[in-house]
């Protein structure tokens, strides 16, 4: 069998065969992470002596064949062992190097601002556009300070519970105080200057909506009087149409005011979609109130016809309605033309894409109103000439069909906008080329650009960064001579690890700064892009 003699780093192998025994001696050096070196081959000289003795004994057993064998010289084999760092086990909740802001430290660990003055302060790159750097603290220091202040984790948990209950009571009292303040303003009058929300109704889409509310409200009142006087089904449909328009445009005004609210933690991207929601509900309201009641009254007129009284007043009211609805329609058309020209779109594209849902609703409602006035006047004229009341009922059905078509278009366009449709391919191509032209970017993948409504775009892409360019950008800001001296002073593995960790963290910060720069440049070149999410591939 095999005969092996082993001690420390000295290995001796003897082969039981007719050939000469082969002895291999190797000297192994092992490096540890602390830079110490162990010479296992020369650790014990007695091991080598035992190997030589064993070698002599084995060669004595084969004296009969000694003349036929030639001794082989011993050649030591050099074995190089790669020096590696000891792997560290961080665990699932490793927070030794995690940072935490002062606000979170005070809120989550129930500390005071004076408690943080004694902790180590670290300046980090700010994620916000309005500030360059901000102060953070090591989470381990904050946790240790909280235990020092409160004595135990149980006491800290009790304090958190107490503060949570106090916060709930505060919110309840705040809601009660806001309601009392509102009642106080209602009683004594609000003397505050006009807010920016109120100013929205004096220009742009808000102005169009307010003009439409006033005109449609007056039209409803006069059409209702004409229907009571004449009993015409077409005039009833016109009155219902004007009422539906007034209610829907009041809903649009509510949507405009709500869309101007500032973002909060519950809605970080703001309330811009409130305009689309209001327009969608408006479309449903037109279908139910306008089209539904007009169809119902027209069908009733066909089933139970009755003679129509004098239509002179009805014609006069329809003529006035035609003028007022036409004026509102012109206001809406001019506003859409101005907005479409600013966006570089045609009139048709601006309407179909529902870039401004509030103005679109006013435009389509007034266009339908003008057409419905023409349909109602025609059918009422046929009824006056022929004396047949069926023409009047058919006119009511025609107005209902027109309103149903408008409501279906509004529901479709606003639903598409709320679902988050993509931007135009040409605009997406421009954004992609703008990113790919930057030297720090190798390639971009999985590009998504969503229209959030009101010409606000959210852009997302996975970016493959060029590590060499990022590293060169970091080195350009460093003193190369000093960096070279640091490299030359590295002698041990601990010093090498500290050097790599220091500059590795700085390079990661440089990469983050490059991401911020790309996002800022993208927003400046494309004002429609409000939110940019770049993921490092």
DSSP state of 64: G
Phi, then psi, of 459 in degrees rounded to 5: -115, 135
pLDDT at 192 over 50: no
Lowest mean pLDDT among 63-72, 232-241, 374-383, 455-464: 63-72
Per-residue confidence (pLDDT) for residue 464, from 0 to 100? 92
Q: Which residue has tokens 């007129």?
A: 301
Assess whether pLDDT exceeds 90 at residue 461: yes
422: its two tokens: 């993509």
CATH class of 197-419: mainly alpha
Instruction: Name the residue with higher pLDDT: 63 or 295.
Output: 295
Residue percentage of the chain with pLDDT more than 90: 9
**Contact (Cβ atoms closer than 8 angstroms) between residue 186 and residue 226:** no
Higher pLDDT, 41 or 120: 120
- Higher-pLDDT residue of 446, 21: 446
Is 252 a residue whose pLDDT tops 70?
Answer: yes
What average pLDDT is seen over the chain?
77
Question: How far, in Å, CA of 157 to CA of 155, rounded?
Answer: 5
Mean pLDDT, range 48-73, rounded to an integer: 46
- Give dist(CA 76, CA 11) in Å, integer: 11
* Segment 358-372, tens digit of pLDDT: 888 888 878 887 888
Nearest of 79, 15, 85 to residue 41 by alpha carbon: 79
Class of the 92-188 domain?
alpha beta
* Burial of residue 266, with CB atoms counted within 10 A of its CB: 0-12 exposed, 13-18 middle, 19 or more buried: exposed
**CATH C-level class of 425-536:** alpha beta
Q: What pLDDT score was predicted for residue 131?
A: 66
The predicted model gives 478-484 an average pLDDT of 89
Q: Is the dihedral of CA 106, 112, 116, 117 positive or negative?
A: positive
How many C-beta neighbours within 10 Å does residue 290 have? 29
- Residue showing tokens 């970091």: 474
The per-residue pLDDT for range 408-421, each reduced to its tens digit, is 888 888 888 888 78
Q: In 10 A of CB 23, how many CB atoms?
A: 18
- Give the 3-state DSSP-derived string for 106-118, with helices as H, strands as E and coil as C: HHHCCCCHHHHCC
CA distance 6 to 48: 10
Higher pLDDT, 207 or 84: 207
Other CB atoms within 10 Å distance of the CB of residue 151: 10
Mean pLDDT of 136-155: 89
User: What's the confidence (pLDDT) of residue 537?
Assistant: 82
Q: What separation in angstroms does the CA of 8 have from each of 39, 217, 458?
A: 10, 102, 66
pLDDT band with cut points at 50, 70 and 90 for residue 91: low
> CA-CA distance, 533 to 255, in Å (whole number)?
28
Band of pLDDT at residue 462, cut at 50, 70 and 90: very high
pLDDT in the model for residue 79: 61
CB 456 within 8 A of CB 462: no
Q: Count the residues in the chain.
A: 537
Summarize the confidence of residues 313-332 as an average pLDDT.
82
CA distance 369 to 216: 10
Q: Tell me the C-alpha distance between 421 and 130, whole Å.
A: 30
**Local confidence band at 183 (pLDDT 50, 70, 90 cut-offs):** low
Q: What is the mean pLDDT of residues 253-278?
A: 82
Question: Does pTM top 0.75 for this prediction?
Answer: no
Rounded CA gap, 421 and 212, in Å? 29
Q: Does the pLDDT at position 53 exceed 60?
A: no
The domains spanning 92-188 and 197-419 adopt the same CATH topology:
no
Higher pLDDT, 508 or 286: 508
Between 383 and 486, residue with greater pLDDT: 486
Q: Which of 73-87, 115-129, 135-149 has the lowest mean pLDDT?
A: 73-87
CB atoms within 10 A of CB 285: 17
Instruction: Give 505: exposed, middle or buried? Use CB within 10 Å, 0-12, 13-18, 19+.
Output: exposed
Residue spans of the domains in the chain: they are: 92-188, 197-419, 425-536
């Amino acid at each position: 069998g095999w005969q092996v003699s082993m001690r420390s780093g000295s290995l001796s192998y003897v082969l039981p065969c007719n050939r000469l025994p082969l002895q291999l001696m190797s000297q192994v050096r092992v490096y540890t992470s602390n830079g110490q070196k162990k010479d296992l081959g020369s650790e014990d000289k007695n091991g080598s002596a035992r190997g030589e003795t064993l070698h002599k004994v084995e060669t004595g057993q084969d004296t009969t064949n000694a003349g036929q064998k030639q001794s082989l010289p011993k050649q030591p084999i050099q074995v190089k062992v790669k020096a590696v760092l000891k792997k560290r086990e961080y665990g699932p909740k490793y927070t030794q190097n995690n940072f935490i802001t002062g606000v979170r430290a005070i809120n989550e660990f129930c500390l005071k601002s004076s408690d943080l003055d004694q902790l180590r302060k670290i300046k980090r790159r700010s994620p916000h556009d309005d500030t360059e750097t901000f102060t953070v603290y090591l989470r381990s220091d904050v946790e240790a300070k909280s235990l020092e202040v409160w004595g135990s984790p149980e006491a800290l948990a009790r304090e958190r519970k107490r503060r949570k209950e106090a916060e709930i009571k505060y919110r309840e009292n705040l809601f009660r105080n806001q309601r009392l303040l509102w009642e106080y303003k209602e009683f004594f009058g609000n003397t505050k200057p006009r807010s920016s929300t109120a100013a929205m109704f004096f220009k742009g889409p808000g102005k169009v909506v307010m003009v439409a509310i006033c005109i449609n409200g007056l039209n409803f009142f006069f059409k209702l009087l004409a229907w009571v006087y004449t009993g015409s089904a077409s005039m009833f449909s016109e009155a219902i149409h004007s009422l539906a328009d007034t209610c829907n445009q009041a809903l649009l005004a509510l949507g405009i005011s709500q869309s101007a609210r500032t973002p909060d933690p519950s809605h970080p991207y703001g309330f811009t979609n409130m305009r689309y929601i209001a327009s969608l509900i408006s479309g449903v309201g037109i279908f139910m109130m306008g089209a539904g009641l007009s169809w119902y009254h027209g069908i009733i007129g066909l089933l139970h016809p009755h003679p129509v009284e004098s239509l002179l007043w009805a014609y006069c009211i329809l003529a006035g309605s035609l003028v007022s609805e036409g004026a509102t329609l012109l206001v809406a058309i001019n506003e859409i033309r101005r907005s479409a020209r600013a966006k570089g779109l045609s009139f048709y594209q601006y309407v179909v894409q529902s870039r401004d849902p509030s103005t679109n609703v006013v435009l389509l409602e007034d266009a339908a109103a003008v057409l419905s006035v023409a349909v109602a006047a025609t059918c009422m004229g046929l009824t006056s000439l022929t004396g047949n009341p069926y023409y009047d009922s058919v006119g009511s059905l025609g107005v209902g069909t027109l309103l149903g078509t408008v409501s279906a278009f509004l529901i479709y366009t606003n639903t598409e906008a709320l679902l988050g449709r993509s931007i135009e391919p040409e605009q997406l191509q421009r954004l992609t080329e703008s990113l790919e032209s930057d030297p720090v970017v190798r390639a971009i993948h999985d590009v998504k650009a969503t229209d959030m409504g009101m010409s606000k775009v959210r852009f997302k892409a996975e970016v493959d960064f060029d590590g060499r360019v990022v590293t060169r950008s970091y080195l350009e800001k460093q003193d190369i001579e000093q960096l070279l001296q640091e490299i030359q002073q590295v002698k041990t593995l601990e010093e090498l690890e500290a050097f790599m960790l220091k500059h590795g963290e700085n390079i990661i910060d440089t990469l983050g700064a490059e991401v911020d720069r790309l996002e800022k440049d993208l927003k400046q070149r494309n004002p429609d892009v409000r939110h940019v999410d770049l993921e490092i591939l």
